[in-house]
Amino acid sequence: MRSRRASPPSPARLPAHRILCAAAKPSNRRALFAAFARPGWTVECVCDGGEALDHFAKYGAPDLLVTSHALPRVDGVSLVRRMRRAGFRGRILVVCESLSPVERAAYRALHVTAIFVSPPPRAVLLAAAELPAA
């Protein structure tokens, strides 16, 4: 699954959000897409950190980055570090199976919004993202 978009935009009263999700496992990409797919929201899912950086360079900053820690080519910490250095100041959610204290400290130093060890429920993701539930 390279990229998927949420359903067509709904009435103008709903805010538009651009969400970039990076996850190596197809099941994780599907779960993240389902969590954020709402009318008027654009959800792009990529399979590795390098593809996420390419997407950022081509389309600009998303409103929210949701990334796995274990990614091929460019891991989660490196992805976040490179996006921050390129000027990304948006919210970042990290979802992982486990993190070492060093990895957790690296994410905190990069000012990620939240770190979830194991996939959290949709409501928890939306609350951490500070995006209104549809």
Two tokens, residue 82 = 């490179």
Q: Domains of the chain, with CATH numbers?
A: 17-128 (3.40.50.2300)
Tokens 């060093």 correspond to 102
Residue 14 has pLDDT above 80, yes or no: no
Bridge partners of residue 114, in order along the sequence:
93
Q: Per-residue pLDDT tens for 56-98? A: 999 999 999 999 999 999 999 999 999 999 999 999 999 999 9
- Is residue 66 within 8 A of residue 42, CB to CB? The reply is no
Q: Give residue-wise pLDDT tens across range 26-52.
A: 999 999 999 888 887 899 999 999 999
pTM: 0.84
For helices 101-109 and 76-85, the axis angle rounded to 10 degrees is: 20
> Exposed, middle or buried: residue 66 (CB in 10 Å: 0-12, 13-18, 19+)?
buried
